[in-house]
Structure formats: structure tokens, C-alpha cells
Structure 1
Amino acid sequence: MKKAELIFFPSRGIGHLVSTVELAQRLVERDDRLSATVLTLPATATSPYTESLDSTLTQVRLISLPRVDLSGMENLSGESFISQFMDRHITFVKDAITQRISTDSVRLAGLVVDLFSTTIVDLADELGIPAYLYFTSGAAMLGVMLHLPNLVTDITEDLKDYPGELVIPSFVNSVPPLVLPKVLLNNKENGYVWMLTHARNFRRTKGIIVNTFVEIEPHAIHSFKVDSQIPPVYPVGPLLDLNGKFHSPSNRPQFDKIMRWLDQQPPSSVIFLCFGSRGSFSVSQTKEIALGLERSGYRFLWSLRQPEPSKSRFAPPSDYSYTNLEEVLPDGFLNRTEGRGLVCGWSPQVEVLAHPATGGFLSHCGWNSILESLWFGVPILVWPLYAEQKLNAFRLVMELGLAVEMGCVSRRNGDDFVKAEDVERGVRIMMDGDNEVRRKVKEIQERSRKAVAQGGSSFVSLGRLIHDVIERIL
């Protein structure tokens, strides 16, 4: 019998790729009637991860697509750039699909796109292939996207100028417009037009797979069932890379140094500061963070990165040299906090969150980071930077009670500069071992693990997805 194959086309970015590979692996391990191919894009930042996969993946095929011509895209920004970048791969995606169809061992069961590659739905229709969406953020943000066409109809002015709050079905409370992703605030920008196009394409798919679980987002997931125009939604998370496949051999000395330092710290005594693959700060903001940490009196592990000076669109932040590090931190900071704090560059986030010495996480609130933190029972101090992170932070604090606010969520006037006193206060609240947030996080930790275990909500949902995928091609 031919395998039923799903072809995945994730957007560029390590968060999208890792989550997609985890989904593909989960599917083929669950049912041997399935096979999976992930189409990857050339990227220096993700090469350690893809190289590690070559030796560890046994049931998921990786196909690297050729580089596309970026001419004419120099002045595009953000979501507009990545959307057009993904769109320019359509010919290469079609070639890869055609080659897979030509083999005798597989029968194509679907093409799985993500948030920024939904124009490939047209290609799926052309080839007569079912298209599915894999949404790598949470169900509440998925609800924002699904509701976006309605907002366009109901509100004619830019959302940044809208005086009220928004009623969005996937949220329990009304939503202040300025916590939405910046790209959604100005309907005259090209990025907004792209997001609206993606949102409309969501409803053209045969199903929406989302990296979340019912127990953390019951209201949002239930809201999708009320609208008959929304395709079936399959919450299958948390899907996490818990084995550290993204670690490059060159990072091994840094890994060992960090873990040795953590081993010397008391349980739940360290706050971990890490802001994702793209997170970096100005010198003035870096000094404020340092002063706040020092004044708090708590132990800290700080993954501090400098903005990449390269003009490359995809260049991630880089590590400071020791000399440069002293230039961006307050005078004498490293000496005064020696033994109590460790400032590093790259850090192994999963292993740090899993370590018993880690008691809090100052995070940018990327969805993968949120799921990892909850999986290991580490409460979050929120500092959103870009994309949907401010919305994630708003929900964690205001609706779920799973995080501590540090001022930047309540500042909805666009001023996100955080002062030392805000950092100090946030760290003190976070590291209080007896706060309500810590108790709730421990509860959701247990529920997240039960969700993916046999019989759990996400386990059942994944089985329903497999059934529907195979049923559709029989």
C-alpha cells in the first residue's frame, strides 16, 4: 500500500521550522500509513538544526529548495517581505511536489502551509491536492487572523486610531488595539494587505492545525466551532524540540559553561533572560536591564545579544565579545554581580528552562518560548518585542494569570522603553516563591504533559487529524 504523504512548507525562521518538523515527526510516528516531506529554505541561522536532522530523522524527508531572486524587494518591510519571499518559491514547490508524485511509493495526501505561505493554497487547488494550515502560534492569535476580514468590514479607520477596544471571539475580554501585531494597525500598509490575504486563505484550507492544547485555550478553541465557515481546527500541542537538535558543535563550550554555572545555584533561584532568535536591545535599554537586575538582588542568567550590523534580511543577533560587553553594561556591573549572575550570548533555552535552578523566565513571549516555559513549570515575566508577542503577553497576564507584567504590556501608547525600576520590580514579583502565578504555572505544566500523552486532548486531536487526512484521499 502506498504511503499517504504530507508535504510541509514552513516559513523561513527557526521557530516555524522546528515546530513544523516536530509536527511531521509526531504524525509519522503515530501512524505508519503516513510519510512526510519538509521543504526547507537556505538559511545560515538554521543550518546547525537542519544538519543535525540529517543524522537523526529517519521517517521525515527534508528537501532544500533553491534560492530565489530577491530583486525588487529591497524596500519591503516585515510581513510584506517574508510573504513575497515565500510566494516567490511557488515554482520550486511545484517542482518538488511533481517529483514526489512521480514516485511509486507515495500518494500525496496534502500540502501543509503556514501563516506566511498561504498563497501556495492556489497551487494545491491547481494540482487537486488538499491544503492544510499549520499555525505555529496560539489559538487566540489564530482567532485574530480568522476575525480580521470582519474587522475590515466593521472598522474603516486604522486600528491604531480606533478609540475603543475590540471584541474578538477567541478572547474572553475585549482587546486593546495596540496589543495587536503592529502590521495590523495600519490598513494602508502593504504588510496589512498581505496579512488580510493570508487570513482569507485560512478559510480555504481543509483544516487548521495549531500548536496549542485545549486546557490552556479552551475559550479560543471553542469559539472556532461556533463559526461554520471555519475549517476543522486540530489543537495538537505542545509540539516542542526537547532534545536540543538546534545546538551547533561550536556552541558546546558555551553550553558546558552555562550548565556548570547553573549546577552551582540553589533550586529555583535564577531568573533566565532570553529574547528569542531575533531579540536584541539598544545600549541604553541594556544598561537599564542591568541596573534593574543588580538592584533586585536575585541571581540571573542573561542571554544578551547585539543587533546584527549586517544588511542581510535574515541575519540574527550575534554575541558580544567580552570587550564590547563591558562597553554596553554599566561601569563595574560584571564585577559587582560576579558569582550571582552570568551574562552570556547564545544559550540553550530548553536545557536552561529544564534546570532545577531556574525559577523564572524574562521572555519576549514568542509562542514556542511560552510553551517551553509552561512545559517545565517556569513562570514568565513578559517583555514582548515584535509580531504577535504583545498579544501573547496580554493574554498570559490578563486572561490566563500565567505571567507577570513588567509595565510594557500596560503601556499601550507605543512607548516600550522599560526603566530599571520596572525590571527590578518585575524580577522581585516573579521570583517570590509563593505567588499565585507560580502556582497556576505548575498546574498548567501537568496539563500540558497530559495533553500529548495517550488519551490526552492533543493526542486525540492528532488522531482525528490523521483519520481526516487519510479519509479524504481514500
Structure 2
Amino acid sequence: MKIELVFIPSPGINNVRATAAMVKVLVNSDDRLFVTLVVIPERFSPGDTSSVYPESESRLRYYHLHAGDQSTDDQDQTYMSYIESQKPHVRKAVSKLAHEVSTHPESPRRLAGMVVEFFCTPMIDVADEFGLPAYTYFTSNASYLGLMFHVQHLHDQEHFDVTKLRDSDAELDVPSLTRPLPATCLPSVMLSKDWFPNLLLRARILRGTKGILVNSVAEIEPQALKFFSGGNGTPPLYAVGPILDLKTDSGDEKRREILRWLDEQPPRSVLFLCFGRMGGFSEKQATEMAVALERSGHRFLWSLRCAAPAEKIMTGAPPGEFTNLDAVLPQGFLDRTAKVGKIITWAPQQQFNAFRMVEELGVAAEIRKDYRRDNLLGESEMVTAEEIERGINCVMEQDGEIRKRVEEMSEQFHMALMDGGSSTHAMRKFVQHVIENIS
């Protein structure tokens, strides 16, 4: 039986590329599978932007929703309310796809389900309307997903609100982790009374899905996978990672420029500083980081952006760009580091993650795990150049334990995606699960 899945990633070229990278591996694992990836337009996009996205392939095609008229009056609309507003368009697209796949002249197939990226969970309502099983693609790690379910369980079943731990030195026993998690390492979204209700809602929705694809590897997170296989009311988890979008698009000059510069550097000599899609800093913190980098003497690739204003966080606004780096960074810094460093505003891709990388995985050096530069909680702390420099030197030590552990993990990642590896097995198991759940 040939089947078709509808994937719905979050809006934005990078989110679509990341999802497409996973889908390509997935369809290659089973020749019965076809995928249509529904592309939601970015907010306030200028019109038809489909030309900047990858082209459809034999068993993977892109269905672009029309950007429509987006009024400037909607600039303060929250990210999730924008996703909600796209439901009618997705509903229309799924209706059209259902007819197309069932009557395809060359390869008729069954529409078997919908897979929504974590921030598109409102689209599960559309899946329900069509009687389609709903699945989720979770782009973060399985341990964090386990933490989400755990704090939701504490709230709903044990009537314990983790937001009360905001200023606590307590520790939580989290089933998806091998050691207690200090409350200081809880993600800010779990400590904010404004954001926590939304997280609880997402966790409850995820519990009702048929399964969750996660960008992880079984060998790296055995404790988390044990938690999800323990019959505790969570859906089946499929660790299908590591999924990395490493292909350089011929039209992506930024990406090609970065890779060209990296190719010119000696092997294993470059420190990469990247703080995620929403990572941005104040001018003072950027200065401290620059001082540490120059003192360390190491080559660096630095993704540097300024923090979004607090009032724009709820709208999903990303960090902005510093308009004049010469005015932000120490005098002469750009000239002195021109041959060994490169500053960029974007790079292809953290509180809880810091705990996991230092304590659980041993692939990172601790600077300050309880650090918060956080508009969600109204907090802003300064990490000094001395602290940052100490962490840099620890990571860059040529024969250090961190480098050895990274090399071990690299080999485990490679093996997981080989034929017979754990991730390949998880993908095939997922497809079989989908087939068995066709109504």
C-alpha cells in the first residue's frame, strides 16, 4: 500500500528546510511513502516567496499557501494566534490533497496522516476534521520533551506549579534525565506565569497524538527513551536523528560564504558561537564576549545579534542586527581579529540544553548554568569576560575530555543513520505504525 503524509512545519525558510531534511531521510527509508510539505507563509511576507524554497522531488512535494493580505494592524498578533489564523488555508489545502492523492493517475495512494511541527499543533484540529491520525515532529531533544511532560504531570496530577521554583535552589527528579535537575536550570518558559499555561496546553495536546518524531539518537538519550517506553501515558517516540540541513543551496550566498571561510581555517581550530534562533544580547554582554574571544587567541565564527525588545517576544519576533558593530564592540576589535574571526548575523543551527550538554553528555564546558539573559522573566545578568574565556579555553583544549566525547558522539550519530542503525530502524517503525493506524 502506498501512503501519503502531510507535514506542516513552522513558517520560515530555515524551519521548512530542517523539516524537509528529515522528510528526505524518512521517504528514503520506505518506498511506499510519499510526503506533501505544506508551507505556511512567513508573517508579513511580501507575497509569493515559493521561489526561494527547494523544488519538489519524486516523493516529496511542496504545497505553498498564499501569503494573502497581512495588515500592519496585526503586527502585535502573537505567533500562536497567527498559526491559528492559517487553519482555513490548511483545511482547504488538505481537502485538495485528499482528492489528488486518491485519484493520482500514476500512483494512487491513501492519505494516512498529518505530521505537525511542535509550534503548529493548532493544525491537529484540521487533522481531526478529516479523520486523519495526527503526529508531531519535535525538533528539540527527547530529554526536554520528557521534562515538558513531567512538569505537565506535576501540574495536572499532583497540583504542583513549577513556576513557584523561580527563585528556588531545589532540585527536580525528572524521569527523562539521569540526575536531578536544579531549578535554576529550568527553561524560563516553565517559570513564567504568562508563558507556562501555553506550555501546559502544548504538552496536553502532544499526549493525544499518535506518535512523536524527535530529532535525537537512541544511543545518546537512553534514559529519555526509557521514559517514553514506560507506559506512562505518552505517545510512542521515534528517535530519527541526527537530522542536519547541511546542503548548501546554490542561491544561498550567506551559507556559501561561511563554508568558504571555514574551509580556509586549520582543522579543528575554530570556535563556533551560536545561541539559537532567539538568541540575542545587549551591547554590554556583546562587549564582554568580544574581550573573552580576543584574549583566548582562538579562531572564531560568531553569530551575533541584539536581543528583541521585551514587548515583541510574544509575537515571536526574532533578535535583530546590530547596525554598527564598531560602536558595540571594543575599539579596534574587528581590525585586530580580522584574520582569525568572522562575525555573522545568522548561522544554520539555552538553559536546559546547557545542563544536558555539561552534566548529561559531557560535551560542553560550564560557564554559568544558572545564567539568564531573559526578557520572559524580566531578568538580565552579565557574564564576565573572565568566565567566558575560561569556558572557551576548556572547550578548545586539543586533547581534552570534551573533544574526545564529541568524537565518540560523532561516531554514534554516523552509525545511527546507517542501514540497520537505530535511527533508520525508528523511521521504518514509524512508517509501519502509520500504516497500521489508517482508518
Please confirm whether the aligned pair reaches a TM-score higher than 0.5, indicating the same fold: yes
Structure-to-structure mapping, 1:108-257, within 5 angstroms: 108-153=111-156, 154=158, 155-156=160-161, 158-159=163-164, 160-161=166-167, 164-187=170-193, 189=194, 191-245=195-249, 248-251=251-254, 255-256=256-257
Q: Distance in 1 between matches of 2:353 and 2:147?
A: 12
Q: Distance in 1 between matches of 2:216 and 2:228?
A: 14
Q: Tell me, yes or no, if structure 1 residue 270 matches structure 2 residue 270.
A: yes
Aligned partner of residue 55 in structure 1, secondary structure: coil
Shift, 1:304, TM fit:
2.8
Does the 8 Å contact 1:119/1:198 carry over to 2?
no
Cα pair distance change 1:456/1:71, threshold 3 Å? same
Aligned partner of residue 183 in structure 1, secondary structure: helix
Q: Distance in 2 between matches of 1:46 and 1:432?
A: 45
Q: Tell me, yes or no, if structure 1 residue 93 matches structure 2 residue 58.
A: no
Cα pair distance change 1:50/1:202, threshold 3 Å? same
Cα pair distance change 1:317/1:75, threshold 3 Å? closer
Tell me which residue corresponds to 1:362: none
Does the 8 Å contact 1:207/1:231 carry over to 2?
yes
Shift, 1:186, TM fit:
3.2
Q: Distance in 2 between matches of 1:35 and 1:467?
A: 14
Q: 5+ unaligned residues in a row in structure 1: which ranges?
A: 350-368, 370-388
Relative to structure 2, which stretch is displaced further, 164-173 or 153-162? 153-162
Tell me which residue corresponds to 2:334: 334
Q: Distance in 2 between matches of 1:412 and 1:30?
A: 41
Cα pair distance change 1:443/1:49, threshold 3 Å? farther
Q: Distance in 2 between matches of 1:198 and 1:70?
A: 28
Q: Deviations over 1:403-444 (max 9, x none)?
A: 11122x144795542111112111111111111111111001
Q: Deviations over 1:155-199 (max 9, x none)?
A: 146232555222221111121233222221134x2x322221111
Q: Deviations over 1:44-85 (max 9, x none)?
A: 899999645443634212122244768997656xxxx22222
Q: Deviations over 1:323-352 (max 9, x none)?
A: x221111112223334233334445x5xxx
Does the 8 Å contact 1:112/1:132 carry over to 2?
yes
- Give the partner amino acid of 1:243: K
Q: Distance in 2 between matches of 1:202 and 1:44?
A: 25
Q: Deviations over 1:264-315 (max 9, x none)?
A: 4332222122334443322111111111111112222323334579979566
Q: 5+ unaligned residues in a row in structure 2: which ranges?
A: 374-378
Q: Distance in 2 between matches of 1:231 and 1:172?
A: 21
Tell me which residue corresponds to 2:411: 446
Tell me which residue corresponds to 1:473: 438
Aligned partner of residue 37 in structure 1, secondary structure: strand
Does the 8 Å contact 1:9/1:39 carry over to 2?
yes
Aligned partner of residue 247 in structure 2, secondary structure: coil
Structure-to-structure mapping, 1:278-357, within 5 angstroms: 278-306=278-306, 313=315, 316-317=318-319, 324-346=324-346, 349=348
Q: Deviations over 1:445-470 (max 9, x none)?
A: 00001101100001111111111112
Q: Distance in 1 between matches of 2:303 and 2:337?
A: 15
Aligned-residue identity in percent: 40
Aligned partner of residue 430 in structure 1, secondary structure: helix
Does the 8 Å contact 1:83/1:194 carry over to 2?
no
Cα pair distance change 1:75/1:163, threshold 3 Å? farther
Structure 2 residue aligned with 1:461, among 416, 426, 434?
Answer: 426
Does the 8 Å contact 2:162/2:191 carry over to 1?
no
Does the 8 Å contact 2:168/2:183 carry over to 1?
yes
The TM-score with structure 1 as length reference comes to 0.80
Aligned partner of residue 473 in structure 1, secondary structure: coil
Cα pair distance change 1:45/1:294, threshold 3 Å? farther
Aligned partner of residue 117 in structure 1, secondary structure: helix
Tell me which residue corresponds to 1:41: 40
Does the 8 Å contact 2:13/2:53 carry over to 1?
no
CA RMSD across the alignment? 3.1
The TM-score with structure 2 as length reference comes to 0.86
Does the 8 Å contact 1:178/1:185 carry over to 2?
no
Shift, 1:261, TM fit:
4.2
- Give the partner amino acid of 2:152: P
Relative to structure 2, which stretch is displaced further, 99-108 or 262-271? 262-271
Number of aligned residues? 421
Shift, 1:320, TM fit:
5.2
Cα pair distance change 1:261/1:125, threshold 3 Å? closer
Relative to structure 2, which stretch is displaced further, 411-420 or 295-304? 411-420
Cα pair distance change 1:342/1:227, threshold 3 Å? same
- Give the partner amino acid of 1:216: I
Q: Deviations over 1:368-403 (max 9, x none)?
A: x4xxxxxxxxxxxxxxxxxxx211111110111111
Aligned partner of residue 134 in structure 1, secondary structure: strand
Tell me which residue corresponds to 2:384: 419
Cα pair distance change 1:277/1:452, threshold 3 Å? same
Q: Distance in 1 between matches of 2:295 and 2:205?
A: 49
Shift, 1:113, TM fit:
1.6
- Give the partner amino acid of 1:391: F
Tell me which residue corresponds to 1:61: 61
Q: Distance in 2 between matches of 1:64 and 1:21?
A: 14
Q: Distance in 2 between matches of 1:344 and 1:71?
A: 29
Q: Distance in 1 between matches of 2:75 and 2:296?
A: 44
Tell me which residue corresponds to 2:376: none
